[in-house]
């Protein structure tokens, strides 16, 4: 395995470990409020209902992140990781998207995938630039 492949694998593994960690409900509260606001959701009627919905969204998001960690750990390059993520962009989870928590969860999931693909593409470009600089020497 060339040294550039080795360093790419290490960078990818570190990124997966960091970005696929589980979310905490309280730490994610503002993000959840933002998603609900973006989606135009008003309410729910009580704080207990809001807490129940947010717990559902966080639970499903953490299941998703576990699946992503598992799938991404099987990829061998940043390009493979990007391809894996792109294949999940337009999938919906939670059986059918019929409830506010299901919609919010799928929105968070899609946002995470898009941000992750963007981050990995930037890292991939940077690695190729650095490899080009080494090749010139």
Where do the structural domains in the chain lie, given as residue ranges?
Answer: 3-136
For position 112, what pLDDT does the model report?
94
Q: How far is it, in rounded angstroms, from Cα 61 to Cα 102?
A: 10
For position 47, what pLDDT does the model report?
86
For position 93, what pLDDT does the model report?
67
For position 126, what pLDDT does the model report?
80
pTM of the model: 0.81
Q: How far is it, in rounded angstroms, from Cα 82 to Cα 137?
A: 30
The encoded tokens of residue 16 equal: 């997966």
SS (H, E, C) the chain: CCHHHHHHHHHHHHHHHHHCCCCCCCCCHHHHHHHHHHCCCCCCCCHHHHHHHHHHHHHHHHHHHHHHHHHHHCCCCHHHHHHHHHCCCCCCCCCCCCCHHHHHHHHHHHHHHHHHHHHHHHHHHHHHHHHHHHHHC
For position 44, what pLDDT does the model report?
67
pLDDT along the chain (137 residues), means of 10: 62 87 90 91 82 93 94 92 90 73 90 94 80 55
Sign of the alpha-carbon torsion through 92, 111, 41, 24: positive
Question: Cα(first)–Cα(last) distance of the chain, in Å?
Answer: 21
For position 118, what pLDDT does the model report?
94
């Amino acid at each position: 395995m060339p040294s550039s492949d080795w360093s790419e694998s290490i960078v990818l593994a570190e990124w997966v470990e960091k970005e696929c960690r589980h979310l905490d409900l309280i730490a994610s509260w503002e993000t959840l409020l933002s998603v609900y606001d973006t989606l135009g959701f008003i309410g729910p009627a009580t704080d207990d209902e809001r807490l129940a919905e947010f717990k559902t969204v966080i639970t499903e998001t953490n299941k998703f992140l576990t699946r992503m960690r598992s799938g991404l750990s099987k990829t061998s390059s940043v390009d493979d990781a990007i391809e894996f993520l792109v294949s999940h962009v337009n999938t919906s989870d939670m059986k059918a998207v019929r409830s506010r928590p299901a919609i919010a969860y799928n929105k968070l999931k899609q946002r995470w995938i898009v941000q992750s693909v963007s981050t990995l593409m930037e890292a991939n470009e940077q690695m190729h630039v650095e490899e080009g600089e080494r090749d010139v020497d």
